[in-house]
Chains A and B, each alone.
Chain A
């Protein structure tokens, strides 16, 4: 059973092809990492698969149904890239996570005991049960990311799609996140995550897809770091990173 199918998908922004005839199939139970540099098109790939950006060519299916006809959105748990916490009105962690149940809750239907249990369970799975009543804005970046993952888990999806879930996330949150992902996978869930670096997630990933300039450059096992990147002491400082040591490369 294929969960995600992209068939020669083309996405363009203002005449520039961001995805150039990309085909990708993800089967049930896989944990796929979409890797690539910033601007490679890796986020666009999953956004196109979910119908968040329109396809200029090719086709996309979710759970075997074309996007146009797909209605089983409750089977999908989406974790968007975390944007600034600054929302207009404060919201508690529980309020944000509860939004994840709406896909399973009919319009205007009040929350039932099962809805509340799922929310509490999702909060516990990411280790935020004790912060449920706190405003999201008071959480650290990593904790906010965990709250968004709990929101996706609360809907009890079959497929988790995560966009840069580990970017700027502290070690404790990365470990909590890896634990939640492993538990989700053990129950038969499928995971597609976009990442710049895998970190503690690497042992979980069953397959890596590397996107480069809008095309798939590698599809298979997680590529081993090559050259000086592979050295155990290599701390992966990029010369273009804003926090890179000044003068080192000048």
Chain B
């Protein structure tokens, strides 16, 4: 036990890939949670699978095809949201389930051509991360961080109060579409590390954990990214050391962090509530005479 597993190159690549995911997914997820769209990442992940299928079938890059199809799906989702219709739910269901079944269908069609494993895309396979994969993840991840960090005041404004942002003259529609496309890119970045079905967990759980202890938006985003990084690192180490499924392990570590933080903050509040105020000593119930 220890850090010996990182003498293997494939473990180091798995770690770097997971860390990129651990930083980018919560950074983007903070905006989704702010907007109460916590589960939208899951839907975009479903749509991205169709892109993977297209990529495999046409023998092009599954990652590139996933980015393009997921971005198109995310823009469609944003247009549905913008309309704000009650029938939007149904439209989203059609998109998401159409996306995942289309993906499964296309991947199965391509199975004669490739040895690609559907499970690897759905639940991640960081241990097979190649050098090229890492470069692609680093480039896309840098893009995600550039958008989420540099545009924070503006994206905060549209997620916090869209109508006010409109009267402020902000390019609300452009920023919304940018956020949608960035969501799609984040999903694709995370595909290798945790898989399309678990992407949303890394977008939401670290943010949920962070906001148990933070007071502001900026602090929540920073804390969520730190939690995501730790969960990703610890998850890969655990998976490598005990031979568990890496993607699932990363997510379980993140959920464990949430539970520990929730219990700890709850206990801290209970202690503070029961502690008598400064200088006030409760009168004794009984006085024992010597």
Do A and B come together as binding partners?
yes
Smallest CB gap from A92: residue in B: B216
Over the window 158-178 of chain B, the binary record of Cβ atoms lying under 8 Å from chain A Cβ atoms (1 yes, 0 no) is 001101111111110000000
What 0/1 readout, one digit per residue, does chain A (37-81) give for beta carbons within 8 Å of chain B? 000000000000010100000000000000000011110101010
Stretch at the interface among A100-108, A189-197, A219-227, A239-247: A100-108
> Could you say which of B27-35, B75-83, B130-138, B195-203 contacts chain A?
B27-35
**Cβ contact within 8 Å between B154 and A107:** yes
- Kindly state whether residue A12 has any CB partner on chain B within 8 Å: no
| Shortest CB distance B269–A (Å) | 13
Give a binary string over A186-227; 1 marks a CB under 8 Å from any B CB, 0 the rest.
000000000000000000000000000000000000000000
A121 at the interface (CB under 8 A from B): no
C-alpha spacing A72/B167, complex, angstroms:
10
With A89-B30, A89-B211, A102-B157: A95-B168 Cβ-Cβ less than 8 Å: no
| Chain A residues with CB under 8 A of B150 | 108
Q: Of all chain A residues, which has the CB nearest B30?
A: A89
- Contact of B6 with A by CB under 8 A: no
Judge whether B217 and A92 touch: CB under 8 Å. yes
Q: Does A90 make an interface contact (CB < 8 A)?
A: yes
Number of interface residues of A (CB under 8 A): 33
A29 at the interface (CB under 8 A from B): no
Chain A nearest CB, measured from B145 CB (Å): 15
**In the assembled complex, which residues on chain A have CB atoms less than 8 Å from the CB atom of B153?**
98-99, 102, 105, 111
B125 interface residue (CB < 8 Å to A): no
By the criterion CB–CB under 8 Å, are B167 and A78 in contact? yes
Provide the main secondary structure of the chain B interface.
helix
State A94–B145 Cα separation when bound (angstroms).
Answer: 24
Give the residues in chain A near B218, CB-CB below 8 Å. Answer: 95
Q: Which of B33, B154, B156, B207 contacts A95 (CB 8 A)?
A: B156
Bound together, the chains give a CA A32 to CA B88 distance in angstroms of 39
Query: Smallest CB–CB gap between B227 and chain A, Å?
Result: 14
B157 touches A99 (CB 8 A): yes
CA of A68 to CA of B192, assembled, Å:
46
Number of interface residues of B (CB under 8 A): 31
Partner of B34, one of A71, A87, A155: A87
A103/B168 in contact, CB under 8 A: yes
| Pair B215/A135 contact, Cβ less than 8 Å | yes
Interface status of B220 (Cβ within 8 A of chain A): yes
Given contacts A87-B34, A107-B154, contact A52 B166 (CB under 8 A): yes
Question: Do A134 and B211 touch (CB < 8 A)?
Answer: no
Complex alpha-carbon distance, A49 and B211, angstroms = 38
Verify B216–A91 contact, CB threshold 8 A.
yes
Among the listed B34, B171, B217, B220, which residue makes an inter-chain contact with A107, where contact means beta carbons less than 8 Å apart?
A: B171
Give the distance in Å from the alpha carbon of A73 to the alpha carbon of B157 in the complex: 15
Are B164 and A99 in touch, CB under 8 angstroms?
yes
Please state if A73 and B168 are interface contacts (CB–CB under 8 Å): yes
In the complex, the answer to whether A134 meets B169 with C-beta atoms within 8 Å is: no
Residue among B36, B38, B163, B214 having the largest count of chain A Cβ atoms under 10 Å: B163
User: Would A89 and B164 count as touching, CB distance under 8 A?
Assistant: no
A89 touches B215 (CB 8 A): no
CA distance A135 to B138 in the complex (A): 34
Q: Which of B203-219 contact A (CB under 8 A)?
A: 207, 211, 214-218
What is the CA–CA distance of A50 and B36 in the complex, to the nearest angstrom? 26
Is A17 at the interface (CB under 8 A from chain B)? no
B182 to chain A, nearest CB (A): 15
A-B contact pairs, 18 of them (CB 8 A): A52-B163, A71-B169, A73-B169, A74-B168, A80-B163, A89-B217, A91-B156, A92-B215, A92-B216, A95-B216, A95-B217, A95-B218, A99-B157, A99-B160, A99-B164, A100-B168, A102-B170, A103-B169
The 9 A-B pairs with the shortest beta carbon distances in the complex, nearest first, are A73-B169, A92-B216, A78-B167, A103-B168, A89-B34, A99-B157, A91-B217, A88-B34, A88-B33
A89-B34, A155-B168 given; name 15 further pairs at CB < 8 Å. A71-B169, A73-B167, A74-B169, A78-B163, A78-B168, A80-B161, A90-B215, A91-B160, A94-B216, A95-B156, A96-B160, A99-B153, A103-B168, A105-B153, A134-B215
A binding-site residues for B, Cβ under 8 Å: 50, 52, 71-74, 76, 78, 80, 87-92, 94-96, 98-100, 102-103, 105, 107-108, 111, 133-135, 151, 155, 161
